[in-house]
């Protein structure tokens, strides 16, 4: 099932459009297709992850700091499995779907952080060569207001 781009938040859509322009007709852009400063509009909300063993786990190359997730602890250089809580299963499943499908993926589900529940919409974008994903860019956008329907990992058609 595909998500209509109209359902994405403005910052998610602008990141998807940037990613699409960088891929220049290929399946996905390579990490070398843009400079870190090109990501300035989204900095602070991005994770950059590297798959380990084909997506069995993921290492945070860059870990976001502007979200509640980033206030828990700095995970830069560590693996998703190092969280050691119920976020691990969901996150690995989400990021593995990006690796397996080599497509942008969107989702939003409630997560437990300390004594509170929070919801982030995530857009996850593959980077790599041909059909091999070498990195995943994941942007977290806080969902405000009433939240009732989780969005399971869903392919976005660019």
3-state secondary structure 64-121: CCCCHHHHHCCCCCCEHHHHCCCHHHHHHHHHHHHHHHCCCEEEEEEEEECCEEEEEE
- The pLDDT assigned to 81 comes to 94
Maximum distance among all Cα pairs of the chain, rounded to whole angstroms: 45
Q: Which residues contact 122 (CB under 8 A, 6 or more apart)?
A: 94, 105, 106, 107, 108, 138, 139, 140, 141
Q: Kindly state the DSSP code that residue 18 receives in the 8-state scheme.
A: H
Return d(Cα 156, Cα 53) in angstroms, integer: 25
- Sort residue 54 into left (φ over 0), alpha (ψ -120 to 50) or beta: left
Sorted by where each starts, the structural domains of the chain and their CATH numbers stand as 2-147+151-155 (3.30.450.20)
**What residues in the chain have per-residue pLDDT under 50?**
1, 70
Return d(Cα 74, Cα 89) in angstroms, integer: 19
Q: Which residues contact 89 (CB under 8 A, 6 or more apart)?
A: none
Q: pLDDT (tens digit, 9 = 90+) per residue, 17-57?
A: 999 999 998 999 999 999 989 999 998 889 999 999 999 99
Q: Kindly state the DSSP code that residue 28 receives in the 8-state scheme.
A: S
Return d(Cα 46, Cα 65) in angstroms, integer: 8
- The pLDDT assigned to 1 comes to 41
Give pTM, 2 decimals. 0.87
**Tokens 């009732």 belong to residue:** 148
């Amino acid at each position: 099932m595909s998500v209509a781009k109209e359902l994405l938040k403005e910052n998610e859509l602008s990141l998807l459009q940037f990613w699409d322009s960088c891929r220049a007709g290929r399946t996905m852009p390579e990490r070398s297709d843009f400079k870190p400063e090109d990501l300035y509009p989204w900095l602070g909300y991005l994770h950059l992850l590297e798959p380990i063993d084909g997506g069995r786990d993921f290492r945070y190359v860059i870990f976001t700091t502007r979200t509640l997730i980033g206030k828990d602890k700095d995970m830069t250089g560590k693996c998703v499995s190092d969280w050691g809580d119920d976020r691990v299963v969901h996150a690995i499943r989400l990021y593995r779907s990006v690796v397996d499908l080599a497509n942008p993926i969107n989702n939003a589900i409630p997560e437990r952080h300390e004594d509170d529940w929070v919801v982030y919409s995530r857009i996850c974008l593959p980077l790599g060569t041909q059909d091999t994903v070498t990195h995943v860019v994941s942007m977290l956008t806080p969902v405000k207001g009433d939240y009732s329907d989780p969005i399971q990992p869903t392919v976005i058609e660019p």
